[in-house]
Each structure stands twice: as C-alpha cells, then as structure tokens.
Amino acid sequence: MINRYAKQELFIGEIGQQNIKNASAIIIGVGALGSSIAEMLVRAGVGNLTIVDRDYVEWSNLQRQTLYTEDDARNKLPKVIAAKNRLQQINSEVVINSFITDITSLNIEELIKDQSIILDATDNFETRMVVNDAAVKHGIPFIFGACVASYGLTFPIIPGKTPCLNCLLNHIPSLNMTCDTVGVISPIVQIIAAYQVTYAMQYVTNCELPTSLQSIDIWKHEKSEINISKLKNDNCPTCGPNQNFPYLATVNELKTDVLCGRDAIQLRVMSPNSLSLKDTSKRLIGIVSDLIVNPYLLSCTFESHRIVLFKDGRAIIHGTKEPSVAKELYNKIVG
C-alpha cells in the first residue's frame, strides 16, 4: 500500500502523522486564508475538518481564494459547498463538515466544542472576538491570522498559556485598513496561512509553539517578531480571574453587517424559519431580473441592486452600505 503521507512522516514521524489523523480542526471562514489553510490541512491528512462561511463564490475571489474555479463563481455556489467538493477530490479520507452560516454568540460554542484546534480565517474583528471568548471558555487553541494589502499578522492563542485576543487588542498593529480600501495580494495570504497551518501541526503533534506575534510585509521585505508572553491583561474579561466572556454574553442583536471588501450589507433575520427558495423564486418571476436559484441560495436583481437570499433567511444586498436601504429592499422582496 502506497503511503500518501510518506514524505511528511519522514519529518514528523509515524506518531506525529497519527496525531494529525486523530485531530479535528475548524476553520472560521473559507475566503483567501481559509482556502489555503483547508487545502494544506486536508493534504496533511487531518482526520476531521469543519468549515464555516456565510458567503458564496464571486469572480473577485478567484485571484487569491485558491479552492475556487470560474464554474463556482458562475453557479454562485456557497463557498463551503465549493470548498468541500474540491477538498474531497484532494483527499477523500478526510471527514469534512460544512456550514453555510454566520458565526455569532448563539452558534459558536456548539461549532467548536469538540474541536482540537480553531483556525481564524475571518475578515472582521467582531467575529474574532466572539471566537476568542468561546476558544478560551472551552480551552481550545485559536490561531489568529489576518491580511490586508501586502501585510499580515499571525500568532497562536493557547488558553491558560498565552494572552488571548482580548488581552492583545491594544498591542496589535493597526489593521484599520480593509481589503475594501487597499486590496490584498495573494502571496501574503499564502505566507500567513502557512504559519497558521504550521502552528496547528505543531500543536496537534505536541511540539512547542512560539509565544510571539509574526508581522510580515511581503512587498516591503519586512518582517518582525513581537514577544507577547508578557502582554497578558490581569483583568482581562475573557481570560482573567473574573472572566465573564463579554462577547458570548451579549446576544448579538445586530441585524445588519456591512461586508468587508464589498459594497454590500448582510441582513440576518432573527427568527430563521427556513425560507423556501423555490416558492420565493416562483413569486419573484416578472418582478426581478437575472433570477438564479441553486439548492443553497437565490440570486436576483431588483431596483438595480443584486440581492442574494439564503435558506436560513439571511440576505446579502449589493450596491449599498445603508442598512435602512437594505432592509427596505429585503422587505419588498421577501415581505
């Protein structure tokens, strides 16, 4: 029998390979970082992989989101569906669970509770803080990663050992820029993803992890390492002695999010009684244009806005950053 992991096993040993197979990893977001992390973990032979993402594949993703093809963009496949298809072609031995959803304080604990490790591949701090609270509460390592333009940051958060993201908020170099305004190039994504996967492999094979933050600008050929071991906040509400997990406690009442990198608003309907895409599409014939329905979502154009409805009741309204405009359009279509 040919051992597909032979070269890796020479480096990490048979026990190391078994540790990777026994591990379960969750990736929060399968955009640029998530694509590369998922492919590396699946090729490395992780036993169980969970991917979570709220969005679908668009043409502007193809420049850096390495799991996706033009067909995926044409068919508007949800990212987790397209990703799972591709990942199972790469390695059919891995069990892959996929969720088309938004990460909130309501679902995060259920998603992460049985995982060995959590990999951050989201594009916003609100979500990261929710994940950080849940990771610390359940004692699961959380590997931070973020990129913008040619610049990226990464560090491992090990509950009980390192500071958490909440401790470090005021120490992390500013990431106020977004892909929206300055864009992003693929090489920095691949580097940060490589660090994150290395940390994950080191953790599950019981190797020492660094207590430092890596900061890299690939275009300027600059790299720095900041020791974060002494930056633990003694009064941190997430990992301090009086922890109250503020980001899990606040039931997220926000019903609208401005999406990073897009002129678009996401609406999250709080009572997610599953939307029948078929019935809705029948009703919309003659009212909207460019109507496309697949088993996961419905896409159409209405009053020159592109609108995408998901089965869980979420909607993405393009062509506006105004929540009130988005809500009005949603009500006109879904009622």
Q: Which residues are catalytic?
A: 179
Instruction: Pick the stretch among 116-124, 193-201, 232-240, 302-310 that binds Zn ion (CB under 5 A).
Output: 232-240
Question: Rounded CA gap, 109 and 106, in Å?
Answer: 8
Binding residue (CB under 5 A) for Zn ion from 61, 162, 238, 299 = 238
Q: How far is the CB of 132 from Zn ion (least distance, A)?
A: 8
Handedness of CA 133, 125, 82, 94 (dihedral sign): negative
Write down the residue that tokens 């693929």 correspond to. Answer: 186
Query: Which residue, 41 or 168, has its beta carbon nearer to Zn ion?
Result: 168
Query: Which residue, 133 or 257, has its beta carbon nearer to Zn ion?
Result: 133
Site for Zn ion in 138-197 (CB under 5 A): 164, 166-167
Instruction: Pick the stretch among 104-112, 151-159, 231-239, 299-307 that binds Zn ion (CB under 5 A).
Output: 231-239
Report the run of H or E that residue 309 belongs to, with start and end: strand 305-310
According to DSSP, residue 128 is labeled: H
Query: Which residue, 208 or 234, has its beta carbon nearer to Zn ion?
Result: 234
Q: Return the number of other C-beta atoms located less than 10 Å from residue 61's C-beta.
A: 21
Query: Which residue, 135 or 239, has its beta carbon nearer to Zn ion?
Result: 239
Which residues have CB under 8 Å from 253's CB, separation 6+? Answer: none
Question: Rounded CA gap, 297 and 203, in Å?
Answer: 37
Closest by Cα among 98, 85, 79 to 32: 79
Instruction: Pick the stretch among 29-37, 184-192, 239-247, 249-257 that binds Zn ion (CB under 5 A).
Output: 239-247
Output phi, psi for 49, to 5 deg: -125, 130
Judged on CB neighbours under 10 Å (0-12, 13-18, 19+), 274 is exposed
SS3 258: strand
239 binds Zn ion (CB under 5 A): yes
According to DSSP, residue 60 is labeled: G
Write down the residue that tokens 């300055």 correspond to. Answer: 182
Query: Which residue, 164 or 184, has its beta carbon nearer to Zn ion?
Result: 164
Q: How far is the CB of 27 from Zn ion (least distance, A)?
A: 22
Site for Zn ion in 271-300 (CB under 5 A): none
Interface with Zn ion (CB under 5 A): 164, 166-167, 236, 238-239
